[in-house]
C-alpha cells in the first residue's frame, strides 16, 4: 500500500524570496495561492508575456517585481524558493535543473516527478489553517475535501483559539501539566454525544 511520505510544513513566506517563472494562467494560479496565504511575500515573476490579470493584481502588491523577458538562470539570483509555472516542458525542465544545481527547492506545475514540494489545498478559519495533500495524485480530491471542511468548520473557531490562548497564557506548571489541563478543557470538542 502506498503511503504519503511528504513532510507537512508551514513556511513564513514573507521571510523568503520567491521566483515564479510563468506569466499566464498557471503563473496566476501560483501567484494567487502565495498572496492569499502570505500577502507580504517578496516575489519576482519572470515571463516572456505577463497577462493583464497578473499585471493588475501586482499593482496592489509593492513586493511583486514583474519582469517581462525570457527566463535565464540569472533570474535565480537572490531567491529562496522557485516555481516553474509554465506550460512549456523545455522551460520547466530548465528551471528545475537550474534550481537543483543551485540547491533551491522547486515546484514544477503539473509535473509531480520534478517537484521538491507540492502546494496543498488550504482550509482557513481565522488563525486555524489546515493543509490537505493527496501526494500529488489528485488535486481534485484535495479541492473537494477543502470545500467540505470549509463548510463543516464553524466560523467561531478563531474566537475559540483566542480563548484557549488566553487560558494557556495563565497556566503554570511543567509542560505536561499544561498539556493535561488544555486537554481537559478541549475534550468536549471531540466527545460524541
| pLDDT-above-70 percentage for the chain | 97
Tens digits of residue pLDDT in 50-68: 999 999 999 999 999 999 9
Nearest 5°: the CA angle 157, 161, 165 is 170
Q: Contact at 8 Å (CB) between 95 and 115?
A: no
Q: Is the pLDDT of residue 159 over 80?
A: yes
E-state strands within the chain: 17-21, 42-47, 64-68, 81-84, 105-108, 121-125, 128-132
Tens digits of residue pLDDT in 124-156: 888 889 999 888 788 889 889 999 999 988 888
CA atoms within 13 A on the CB side of 64: 25
- What is the fold of 13-118? Rossmann fold (3.40.50)
Mean pLDDT of all residues in 170-174? 82
Amino acid at each position: 500500500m502506498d503511503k504519503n511520505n511528504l513532510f507537512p510544513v508551514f513556511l513564513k513566506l514573507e521571510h523568503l524570496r520567491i521566483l515564479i517563472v510563468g506569466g499566464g494562467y498557471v503563473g496566476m494560479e501560483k501567484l494567487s495561492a502565495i498572496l492569499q496565504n502570505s500577502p507580504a511575500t517578496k516575489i519576482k515573476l519572470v515571463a516572456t508575456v505577463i497577462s493583464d490579470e497578473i499585471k493588475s493584481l501586482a499593482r496592489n502588491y509593492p513586493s511583486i517585481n514583474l519582469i517581462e523577458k525570457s527566463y535565464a538562470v540569472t533570474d535565480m539570483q537572490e531567491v529562496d524558493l522557485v516555481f516553474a509555472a509554465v506550460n512549456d516542458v523545455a522551460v520547466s525542465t530548465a528551471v528545475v535543473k537550474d534550481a537543483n544545481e543551485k540547491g533551491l527547492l522547486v515546484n514544477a506545475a503539473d509535473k509531480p516527478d520534478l517537484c521538491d514540494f507540492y502546494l496543498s489545498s488550504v482550509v482557513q478559519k481565522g488563525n486555524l489553517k489546515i493543509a490537505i495533500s493527496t501526494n500529488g495524485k489528485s488535486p481534485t480530491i484535495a479541492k473537494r475535501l477543502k470545500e467540505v471542511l470549509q463548510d463543516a468548520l464553524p466560523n467561531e473557531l478563531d474566537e475559540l483559539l483566542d480563548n484557549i490562548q488566553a487560558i494557556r497564557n495563565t497556566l503554570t506548571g511543567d509542560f505536561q501539566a499544561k498539556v493535561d489541563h488544555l486537554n481537559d478543557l478541549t475534550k468536549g470538542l471531540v466527545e460524541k454525544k
